[in-house]
Amino acid sequence: MTTPDHGARLKQVAGANILITAVAIAFAMAIDPTLGPLAPALCLLAFAIASEFVSVPIAAGRLSGCFGAVLAIGWISGPALGVLAAIIVTLVEARRHGTRRASIAVNVAGLAVAALLAGAAAHLAQVRGVDAADTTFALVCFAAYMAAICIEFWWVFSADLGDDLEPLGVMTRHILVPLLPQFACMACVTAALPMLYSQFGTTALLLVFTVLLSFQSLVRALLLSRQRADQLDESVREIAERERALERLSFGALRALVQSVNLRDRMTARHSGAVARYAREIARELGLDDHEQETVHMAGLLHDVGKHIFTDAILTGGRKLTDDQFELVKQHPGVGAELVRGMPGYERVSDIIRHHHERIDGRGYPDGLAGEDIPLLSRCISVADTYDVMTSRDSYRRPVSRQEAIAELRRVAGAQLDAAVVDAFIRALERTDVRFDHGSADDLERQLAVDSWRQRRAA
């Protein structure tokens, strides 16, 4: 926001710079009142404006051949035309970029003074007998270019019109000094222009400018496309970060869901913990990778979240279900799957949940899938589920021993359960003594402690 004090300062700075520009014109006219030749001046002015339109974006601003062209006008056609060209190109640039008025005055004066000094140096050399075709003249022009670019830089930044500008010394070190090699290259090309003009005329200048503008356009196009690619990368990174945040949020919601099931129905919650534990062991035994093991673990934890639609009579009763109650029971995989599907990144877990009551012979629910049409991880859940229902001490049924449960798994393998998955589970049971303690809350907490997995997966 512009305060009254700041506004007054801007007016003072603008007024002083307009005055300085006028003085620069007067000095230039006084040094050399002859205006010309005009043809190279017009040619250089056209190049300066065209070059401004294809300026190359860099970290510290823009690079173009505009500055050099203005100085070259002063060297070839006299300091007065150089100063005039400085005013014209700065106004064109300001209009193009919507520069503030006070900054326009500063920029015009900065370039005008730079053009005046460079033009004066060249004029002085010529007065002392140095011919424009001589190497000495080119060296004078080179030195004048480097001095002029520093003068212009300091002029513009010492006006201190930008927002939160750093001290001039810091900006010199951070902006001007790193750019000096590029400026030196541009000074070499620019310093050669008077020599070129004196030997080959305006046509040679036109030829050089065509090449320079083509090269500048090419560099600009390359840099812009790289900037767009960087922006695209940045957008992709932002989207991925948002997705990760959403996944973390989703996981928090799902964890709360399991714990809310725990509050209403402790047996189902601990059963879910046990199924997650067993299903992960099966996946490991089948040789599935860590990601698959983690996915089936999560699906195990959530496989019965659809049970919240059960009435208390279904949840806690030990009696045979009525037909209506069984219809409700058959809905829980679908309801649970829909609940989980709403969470971004959980589509696969949702599919596994939906099919955890399918049977290998196609007589399960909700979709009656058979054999390998049932997702493998759903088949793992089915085996873990069946085993835990049989062996759990929390179950309203009489728990059976591990050996009896294994015998039952073998009996239904190939009809209700996938035989290969049953075999894998039995191998895991016999080898690692996989257990889940339904009697304590600790085992459930251990199964729920998967935050580190979520973070790893989201990383």
Query: Which residues of the shown chain bind Fe ion in the complex (CB under 5 A)?
Result: 304, 385
Q: Which is nearer to Fe ion, 191 or 254 (CB)?
A: 254
Q: Which is nearer to Fe ion, 123 or 356 (CB)?
A: 356
3-class SS at 357?
coil
Q: Which is nearer to Fe ion, 63 or 383 (CB)?
A: 383
Instruction: Quote the CA–CA distance of 14 and 4 in Å, as a whole number.
Output: 15
CB of 366 to Fe ion, least distance (A): 11
Q: What is the chain's length?
A: 459
Query: Which residue has 């002392």 as its token pair?
Result: 128
CB of 437 to Fe ion, least distance (A): 18
Q: Which is nearer to Fe ion, 265 or 304 (CB)?
A: 304
CB of 292 to Fe ion, least distance (A): 20
Instruction: Quote the CA–CA distance of 55 and 50 in Å, as a whole number.
Output: 9
**In this structure, what are the phi and psi dihedrals at residue 58, rounded to the nearest 5 degrees?**
-130, 170
Instruction: Quote the CA–CA distance of 256 and 250 in Å, as a whole number.
Output: 10
Instruction: Quote the CA–CA distance of 428 and 195 in Å, as a whole number.
Output: 88
Neighbours of 299 (CB within 10 A): 32
Q: Which is nearer to Fe ion, 152 or 304 (CB)?
A: 304
Residue 62 pairs with which residues in a beta bridge?
57
Q: Which is nearer to Fe ion, 292 or 304 (CB)?
A: 304
CB of 222 to Fe ion, least distance (A): 59
CB of 300 to Fe ion, least distance (A): 9
Instruction: Quote the CA–CA distance of 328 and 311 in Å, as a whole number.
Output: 9
CB of 355 to Fe ion, least distance (A): 11
Instruction: Quote the CA–CA distance of 352 and 291 in Å, as a whole number.
Output: 14
CB of 397 to Fe ion, least distance (A): 13
Q: Which is nearer to Fe ion, 134 or 394 (CB)?
A: 394
Residue type, 313: A
Q: Which of 108, 111, 112, 135 is nearest to 198 (CA)?
A: 135
Query: Which residue has 């083509």 as its token pair?
Result: 214
Q: Which is nearer to Fe ion, 304 or 418 (CB)?
A: 304
Q: Which is nearer to Fe ion, 160 or 327 (CB)?
A: 327
Q: Which is nearer to Fe ion, 385 or 418 (CB)?
A: 385
CB of 223 to Fe ion, least distance (A): 59
Q: Which is nearer to Fe ion, 183 or 365 (CB)?
A: 365
Task: Enumerate long-range contacts of 390-396, CB under 8 Å, 24 or more apart.
Answer: 392/267, 392/270, 392/271, 392/274, 392/438, 393/438, 393/439, 394/266, 394/267, 394/270, 394/271, 394/438, 394/439, 395/267, 395/271, 396/267, 396/316, 396/317, 396/318
CB of 314 to Fe ion, least distance (A): 12
In this structure, the dihedral spanned by the alpha carbons of residues 281, 287, 289 and 290, taken in order and rounded to 10 degrees, is: 20
**In this structure, what are the phi and psi dihedrals at residue 374, rounded to the nearest 5 degrees?**
-80, 130
CB of 358 to Fe ion, least distance (A): 11
Instruction: Work out the end-to-end distance of the chain between its first and last CA atoms, rounded to an integer number of angstroms.
Output: 42
Instruction: Quote the CA–CA distance of 36 and 140 in Å, as a whole number.
Output: 20
Instruction: Quote the CA–CA distance of 23 and 93 in Å, as a whole number.
Output: 22
CB of 418 to Fe ion, least distance (A): 16
